[in-house]
Amino acid sequence: MGLVDRGRMPAPLTKLFNIGRSYSMWVYQWGLACCAIEMGAAFASPRYDVMRLGVIPLPASPRQADFVVVSGTVTDKMAPAVRRLYEQMPEPKYVISMGSCANCGGPYWDSYSVTKGVDQILPVDVYVPGCPPRPEALLEGIVLLQQRIRNEDMGAKWRHEEYTSLQASNAKKNPPAADQQASDAAREPIVVGGGPIE
C-alpha cells in the first residue's frame, strides 16, 4: 500500500478500493447499557439482516474490526478500556456513537462518574441519537458511514489526517472558496436524522 501512503493512487483505483472497503466492514460491538439491546437487534436479528449491507458482526478481536459501535453509558472508569480498544483497531478505523448516553451522557450527564460523551475520548464519525435509538437508525448510520468511506481520500485517512473527500483533495491544488467550505462541511461528524446530538 505504498502508493496509498504517498498519495499516488490513481483516482479510479481509489474509488474501487473505497467501494470494496465500504461493503466489507467488520464491526466491533461495545455495548455498555440498554442501547446494546437495540444494537444486538440490529446485528443479530434476521429482520434487519445487517450482512446485506456488507457489515459483518462479531469479529474475533478489535484487531480485525473496521469500525466500533459504542452504545450505552461510558463511565470514567470504563473510558480507558474503550480508548485501549480503539487503539488496538487497525487503520483506517471508524466510530459510531449510538444513543444519548454515548453521545453526551444522556440522563446521567450530571453524574460524577459519567463521561460526557464518547467523543471526549474517541474521534466519532457518526452519531445516532435516541434513547434508545431504533435498529433502523443504527442501520442508517452505517449506510451514511459507507457513503463517507466511498468518497474519502484513502491516503489522507491512513496518514492520520482529518477526513478529506476525494473532491477536496483534488481541489487542494487550486482551492476556490466554495470547495473549501464543502471540505470543511465534509469533516464534520455525521448525525443520523440531521438533528441535534441528544
What pLDDT is recorded for position 7?
A: 62
Contact yes or no for 163/24 (Cβ under 8 A): no
What pLDDT is recorded for position 3?
A: 62
Q: What is the pLDDT along the chain (198 residues), one digit of tens a residue?
A: 566 656 666 777 888 888 888 888 999 999 888 888 998 888 988 888 888 888 988 888 899 999 999 999 999 999 999 999 999 999 889 999 999 999 998 888 889 999 999 999 999 999 999 988 999 999 999 999 999 999 887 777 666 666 566 655 555 544 555 555 554 555 688 888 776 565
Q: Any known ligand binding at 104?
A: no
ω into 90 cis (within 30 of 0): no
What pLDDT is recorded for position 152?
A: 83
Q: Any known ligand binding at 34?
A: yes
Burial per residue of 179-192, b for 16 or more beta-carbon CB atoms within 10 angstroms, e otherwise: beeebeebeebbbb
Contact yes or no for 129/193 (Cβ under 8 A): yes
Residue 129 identity: P
Kindly report the pTM of this predicted structure: 0.83
* Domain locations along the chain: 27-172
Name the CATH code of domain 27-172 (choices 3.30.360.10, 3.30.465.10, 3.90.420.10, 3.40.50.12280): 3.40.50.12280
User: CA quadruple 75, 77, 80, 85: dihedral positive or negative?
Assistant: negative
